[in-house]
Structure 1
Amino acid sequence: MKHTRESAETIALRCLGWLLANEELVPVFMGATGAGEDDLRRGASDPAFLAGVLDFVMMNDQWVIDFCAAEQLATDAPMQARVMLPGGQEEHWT
């Protein structure tokens, strides 16, 4: 499925919500990004921050599987959404 910028942001917001509900991952995310609670609130409306949320979750296949299962999404949804957010059009070799 090809995402629009709006649908990509919606998936990223859902991912942020899933992440924040996961007590084990929240400190890992905050430690990896340096984000504080205020950053999380502001970041919800920032496409670049939302892109970072997807990047973080996509670092681990199990996190992607768990998020997609919880949100009833195809497992390629985060990657497809990421392409539509800032920096997602850059070539990568992973």
Structure 2
Amino acid sequence: MMQEQAELLALDALTFIAEDTESFVAFLRLSGLEKETLTRHAGDPAILGSVLDFLLQDEKRLLAFCESRELNPDRPARARMCLPGAEYLQNL
């Protein structure tokens, strides 16, 4: 997967998260972002990486996203590896 594809998937994941108030508030709290900052910088690859990190932390949320988009459940994890911060994840 190329970075551009990963970014598009992460933007779609952000839309999915934002559609659920509880998930969106949880994402903002965990990321430390304010809604306005997220709105202005939603396309930033580092922020998109954090979106996928959040999605991948909860299997139920991940599976709901993948089902709603008819995606293979491993696709968000593969996308995550194309965005900033993935080098840290590989060393865990």
Matches within 5 A, 1:32-51: 32-51=30-49
Report the equivalent of 2:60.
Answer: 62
4+ long deviations beyond 3 Å: none
Letter in structure 2 aligned against 1:37 = K
- When normalised by structure 1's length, the TM-score is 0.89
Q: 1:55 offset after TM fit, Å? A: 0.4
Q: CA deviation at 1:14?
A: 0.3
Q: Cα gap change, 1:57/1:80 in structure 2, threshold over 3 Å: closer, same or farther?
A: same
The answer for unaligned runs of 5 or more in structure 1 is none
Taking a change above 3 Å as real, the CA distance of residues 45 and 62 of structure 1, as seen in their structure-2 partners, is same
1:43, 1:50 within 8 Å by CA — same for their partners in 2?
no
Residue 53 of structure 1 is matched in structure 2 by: 51
Q: How many residues are aligned here?
A: 91
RMSD over equivalenced CA pairs, Å = 1.2
Show the counterpart of 2:29.
Answer: 31
Kindly provide the CA deviation profile for residues 60-89 of structure 1, in whole angstroms up to 9, marking residues without a partner as x: 111110111111111011100000001113
What TM-score, normalized by structure 2, do the two folds share?
0.91
1:74 pairs with 2:68: no
Higher mean displacement: 19-28 or 34-43: 34-43
Higher-helix-fraction structure = 2
